[in-house]
Structure 1
């Protein structure tokens, strides 16, 4: 018996593992370019959020048809990969369907479930391709999704279609060979979907069918391993990051904006409000807001790598709907692209964050930031609880507090709020004069 197939399989497995580990380290380092932040409070709520949103796909079901299609792909991906375990064992030890003799009839039931899900994934991916390339839904043809992002989505969908076809083709050829008593093929029996294809293979010789089955087997396992590596370069990284991303969700009520502790303490001391002075003051005053990715928290950067690029945030954004340049999806893609750029620079001995570029200006413009209404529509729409608003607010904070670069109308409003405690320029004592006027009119 030749050990060449097992050796080849182990080499392919080792190469896959090498590239996967290298890429995971790269991604981890890039995410940790962000500032430290601890967000482990209320673990019960966090587990519920992860189970409900990441596992349960809850927010996807705001649009029932794409939600059901996505659920088919999601469940198919999770369950069919159980079969990959058998592929790996067979490849390593040189067996064929190693679990079949031990599971008996249960094996046939499991294989039928796998095949049903394979067909569901295939059909769903074809519909997704039609939606993207023929129907051309607006959120899939916006300017911020042109080029590589659009191609990336199509590559993944086509890969999934081809891999599912390989499974069905492999099983059909396998069962024809088993019915002829060719060793080592084992009759499984009752496979519905591949059984529909089996008659197409009946007229071929056993040698050709063995070749067909082996090619499909190798294509599928190599395709799965290549898919696993490719996903780490793709928007489909959310398959894995959706779980930690939802765990670290912002549990505060939407609309509650975070404050800067140093500024809050200063204001409280000015107002005579007691503050906690036990902690040592920072060695140097930090930057107000965010100019580059290292000013954001690592959770913000992880949000960017978790982005599915589905465009639901942009489709719901009132600023974008009214023709403004702001696209929350682009904000997240820009943060990810900047982190990738800095990471590649560091890996090649470059200047990293000191390359003369920054997230503000080179990637995201003030016009985009100023268009945001802080309405949280993008946060509510995201199926994996990404929060673009935090990034927008931090960058706007930098523009206002470090550059004094906000529009003149805004500066006037800020000054009024500081001196009159309202956006309008009148005395605080006159704030409720309008109520007296309304009261007088009602009495008349």
Structure 2
């Protein structure tokens, strides 16, 4: 019987990590549904991006107040969970605060004292975040795409963090051996009076209960990440590493279209010439994207990494002028459709069966796509280097090249370019007539 808690702990640990691995495999499978794109170049620059942006939070602090608060939660939550290692060892081997007897008392006290200070800072910051999300009239938290589950999800994470930090401090305050050691109880010592009058047995029960709920809560949080916008805690690192390093105004060109344009511009080219033997037909089966599987895997990684912070939407000139476009919604819709496709594959033994839906029209409308000015403000603002514009442009490409569904004004412009060599409805001979006007 004395080993029963250790066995239960081992089973809970195996189950928690096992479900996490299953979710990671499902996540990887879904991202790999995207088309291949090479992002293995310029490795040193990519590594620098990851260290500066994902680890160093360099883009987060462009908005100093929220950026500073985010760093407190980010650093605090990560560092505090170092003590999970001690909990795991204690849980598996039946020890109690094993590091207190392994490392110097002063070092242990400094670590736990730092953790307690960070726990209080995290609690204060999380409360401020909750007020900003639910009380303050901040437009980017009140957008239409933030109703329902996205709003609840953001709050659930805040509640998780409040509970975990409170349990950590309660665990320390009711651990009589730890309090008597007087090492590292910088904050928890002020909570001890709350438990005056409790018997040693009652204190032990409270401490053990807080200990168990704390570790089970962390395992639950780990598996909840897959279903939450806070998946960016893990994905921000690969997302910033594999981000597009080309200048933001540089769009990708289709090789087959480029060759055709060059052919049209070369008076000596033979339009009927047969391709060389062995040459691959580089004309894609489909121009642009109407479904998540038409996008590349980096774009799908972007969708899963989206923090739903709304910085992109708050900087979008189309959105600011009342247009329907929200870059955040583009990413959320892409992720939601990708998840739907993944569930379809799971339900059909690894094979996708047509469900009569696609990303375009069922999730993202042409009105949203054509509202974009392609200014790259959303890309510049994103704290983890997400690129909503690349998805918008690929879907526009589909509308134009597959469905001839561009707005009338754009169709007129393209017709003028084709016929007159310029966007204006004047032939080449009349192009300079304006210079003769008095």
State TM-score, norm by structure 2.
0.94
Contact 1:177 1:209 in 2 (8 A): no
The whole-number CA distance in structure 2 between the counterparts of 1:432 and 1:39 is: 46
Select the residue among 233, 254, 263 that pairs with 1:239.
Answer: 233
Aligned position for 1:204: 198
Q: Offset of 1:424 from its aligned partner?
A: 1.0
Contact 2:312 2:378 in 1 (8 A): yes
Cα shift readout 1:351-391 (whole Å, capped 9, x = no counterpart): 62622111001111111111111011111111100000000
The whole-number CA distance in structure 1 between the counterparts of 2:276 and 2:315 is: 43
Aligned position for 1:184: none
Q: Offset of 1:429 from its aligned partner?
A: 5.5
Cα shift readout 1:286-315 (whole Å, capped 9, x = no counterpart): 201001011100100110000000111111
The whole-number CA distance in structure 2 between the counterparts of 1:320 and 1:338 is: 22
Contact 1:177 1:210 in 2 (8 A): no
The whole-number CA distance in structure 2 between the counterparts of 1:433 and 1:59 is: 50
The whole-number CA distance in structure 2 between the counterparts of 1:254 and 1:428 is: 33
Q: Decide which moves more: 142-151 or 282-291.
A: 282-291
Q: Offset of 1:233 from its aligned partner?
A: 1.1
Q: Offset of 1:63 from its aligned partner?
A: 1.0
The whole-number CA distance in structure 2 between the counterparts of 1:283 and 1:383 is: 36
The whole-number CA distance in structure 1 between the counterparts of 2:319 and 2:71 is: 28
1:77 equivalent to 2:71? Answer: no
Aligned position for 1:308: 307
Aligned position for 2:409: 409
The whole-number CA distance in structure 2 between the counterparts of 1:117 and 1:431 is: 68
Aligned position for 2:425: 425
The whole-number CA distance in structure 1 between the counterparts of 2:221 and 2:73 is: 14
Aligned position for 2:44: 44
The whole-number CA distance in structure 1 between the counterparts of 2:16 and 2:363 is: 33
| Aligned partner of residue 174 in structure 2, secondary structure | helix
Contact 1:34 1:297 in 2 (8 A): yes
Distance 1:179 1:238, change over 3 A: closer
Aligned position for 2:221: 227
Aligned position for 1:183: none
1:286 equivalent to 2:265? Answer: no
Aligned position for 1:342: 341
The whole-number CA distance in structure 2 between the counterparts of 1:422 and 1:321 is: 31
Q: Which runs of 5+ in 2 are unaligned?
A: 270-274
Aligned position for 2:54: 54
The whole-number CA distance in structure 2 between the counterparts of 1:278 and 1:321 is: 54
Distance 1:341 1:178, change over 3 A: closer
Contact 2:314 2:320 in 1 (8 A): yes
Cα shift readout 1:83-119 (whole Å, capped 9, x = no counterpart): 1111111111111111111222100001111111111
The whole-number CA distance in structure 1 between the counterparts of 2:178 and 2:302 is: 49
1:15 equivalent to 2:9? Answer: no
Q: Which runs of 5+ in 1 are unaligned?
A: 181-186
Aligned length: 430
Q: Offset of 1:285 from its aligned partner?
A: 3.7
When the two chains are superposed, the root-mean-square deviation of aligned CA atoms in Å is 2.0
Aligned position for 2:131: 130
Aligned position for 1:322: 321
Contact 2:179 2:189 in 1 (8 A): no
Distance 1:188 1:393, change over 3 A: same
The whole-number CA distance in structure 1 between the counterparts of 2:64 and 2:418 is: 47
Q: Offset of 1:48 from its aligned partner?
A: 1.1
The whole-number CA distance in structure 2 between the counterparts of 1:278 and 1:71 is: 58
The whole-number CA distance in structure 2 between the counterparts of 1:245 and 1:366 is: 27
The whole-number CA distance in structure 1 between the counterparts of 2:125 and 2:418 is: 55
Distance 1:313 1:179, change over 3 A: closer
Distance 1:381 1:420, change over 3 A: same
